[in-house]
Amino acid sequence: MSSTAVAPPACLRRPLVVPRRFMFGPGPSNVPPRILEAGANPILGHMHPEIFEIMSDIKSGIQYLFQTKNSMTLALTGTGHTAMECAIFNAVEAGESVLTAVNGIWGERAADMAERIGARVNTIVAPPGGCFSLEEIEKALSKHRPVLFFLTHGESSTGVLHPLDGIGDLCHKYNCLFLVDSVASMGGAPLCMDKQGIDILYTGSQKVLNAPPGTAPISFSDRACQKIFNRKTKPVSFFLDLSWLANYWGCDGKPSRVYHHTGPISAFYSLRESLCILAEEVGDHNWSFVLARLPTVTTIVAPPGYDWKEITAYIMKTYNLEISGGLGPSVGLVLRVGLMGCNSSKANVDMVLTALKNALKHCHKSRV
C-alpha cells in the first residue's frame, strides 16, 4: 500500500479545548447546561419514529412560540439565513414583484436573495434606526403590487423593534403575503403571528432560545401555502422546497414520510429543550407590552474618539466577554450588546457596564 500524500495534521493530535466565554453579542448566546445536556443524547436515525415524535413536539413548541395554529410549522436545517431563503424561494417566482423594507442589513439581504431568483425587487428605505409608517407601506404596496412584502421585526444591526400591527391587514388588502424576520426578537419581544396577520414568520435557534446555531423555526399561513403549492415552477432550491420539507415534518397530512435530507438530530434535541424552557417560563402570561427599542440587542453609540475595535478587543481580553461592533449600515457607529435568554440578568448588565467603563479608561482616545 502506498503512503498517503497528505500526512495527518499535527493539530488534530491535540485535544479539543474550547474556552468558556460570556456571549453578550447579538448572537449566538450562551447555551444553558440543560440544553447542552439534551443535545448530548444518543443519536437516532432521522427517520426513526422517536425522532418523528420529537419533531412533533418541536412543531407544537414553535406554534406556541409564534402564537399560531398553522399546520405548516417546522424547523429548518440551517440558520436564519436558511429560513429567509426558504420563505423567498418558495413564495416567489421569477418575474414576480417583491417589496422589501430596508432599515438595516436584513432588508438589504432579503432584497439580494429575491433578485437572485429573478424577482422584480423594489424597496422602501428608512435611515438606520428608523421605522416605516402604515401610510408609507400602503403607498408602496399600492404602487408596486408585490406578491410578498418583507419586514424585519427586530433589526439587530441598528437595535430597532419595528411595530407590526396593521401591516398584515394592508398586505392582504393588496393580495400580498406578509413575511417577517424575527430572528433577533422572537422570545424577547411580543409577537402574535395569527393576530397580526403574518403569513410567513421565522426565527433562529441561537438567539433568545439559547440553543446552538443550526435550526430555524418557520411557519406558513394557509394563504402562503395556497400560493406556494400552486406555483407554476419548482422552487430554485431542492433542499428548501417546502413540499419536501412539509412531508418530512409531517405537515402535509400524508400517511408516510419520504427521505429528503438527514436532519440534525442533536440540534433537534437542543431545540426541543429550549422550547420546553420557554413554555415553562412564559406559561400562559400575556406577552403584550409596549417597547420603543429592540430589547434583545442594545445598540450603543460608539464613543467619539475611540476605536471600537480596541474597545471590544480589550473587553474580550480582560473579561472574556464578547460584545460586537456595528453591522451593515451601523459599522463603525455603534457597539451592540445582546442579553438574551439565560443571559438576561441584572448581574450581567452590571458586568457589561463595568467592562465598558474600564475599557474607556484603558483604551486610547485620539485627540481628533
Annotated binding site: 336
Terminus-to-terminus CA distance in the chain, angstroms? 67
Preceding amide of 163 cis, omega within 30: no
Least Cα distance to 308 among 294, 325, 329, 288 occurs for 325
DSSP assignment letter at 254: -
Name 203's Cβ contacts closer than 8 Å, sequence gap at least 6.
65, 80, 83, 182, 183, 185, 186, 187, 209, 216, 217, 218
Binding-site residue numbers for substrate are 336
Residue with cell 409608517: 133
Residue with cell 422517536: 50
- If one counts every other C-beta atom within 10 angstroms of the C-beta of residue 68, the result is 20
Helix, strand or coil, per DSSP, at residue 231: coil
